[in-house]
């Protein structure tokens, strides 16, 4: 499974209908699960983003389709981040090629 973090900003349409956002979040989680994903958590945040969601999915393509579907609804704009757990990060770092300094 691929871990994804989705940063969301409410659009004008989304903030005008913010009272219905819990329903929309539940519907989005159901959509994600129907696509083979698992919602780890959704958080209301303060700062540059209004909401942050963390989920696991089958692959990056599925995550991209989901993020596009969320944005197409018109209530949020998304920024998606692919996350690697520490085991994956250690494997990535261990497989790094050595950089050879250019000889002048």
Average pLDDT value for residue range 69-95? 95
Please report the pLDDT score of residue 5 as a whole number: 96
Q: DSSP letters of the chain?
A: -EEEEEEEEE-HHHHHTGGGHHHHHHHHHHHHHHTT-EEEEEEE--SS-SEEEEEEES-HHHHHHHHHHHHHTTSEEEEEEEE--HHHHHHHHHTPPPPPPPP-
Please report the pLDDT score of residue 103 as a whole number: 57
Please report the pLDDT score of residue 98 as a whole number: 85
Please report the pLDDT score of residue 78 as a whole number: 95
**Predicted confidence (pLDDT) at residue 95 exceeds the cutoff of 80:** yes
Contact by Cβ (8 Å): 22, 77: no
Pick 2-57+75-84's CATH classification: 3.80.10, 3.30.420, 1.10.10, 3.30.70.
Answer: 3.30.70
- Boundaries of every domain in the chain: 2-57+75-84
Question: Residue 99: which pLDDT band, with cuts at 50, 70 and 90?
Answer: confident
**Predicted confidence (pLDDT) at residue 100 exceeds the cutoff of 80:** no
């Amino acid at each position: 499974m691929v871990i994804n973090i989705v940063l969301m900003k409410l659009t004008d349409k989304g903030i005008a209908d913010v009272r219905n956002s819990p329903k929309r979040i539940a519907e989005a989680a159901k959509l994600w699960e129907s696509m083979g994903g698992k919602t780890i958590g959704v958080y209301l945040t303060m700062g540059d983003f209004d909401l942050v969601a963390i989920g696991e999915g089958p692959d990056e393509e599925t995550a991209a389709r989901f993020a596009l579907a969320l944005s197409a609804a018109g209530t949020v704009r998304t920024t998606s981040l692919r996350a690697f757990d520490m085991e994956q990060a250690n494997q990535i770092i261990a497989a790094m090629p050595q950089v050879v300094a250019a000889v002048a």
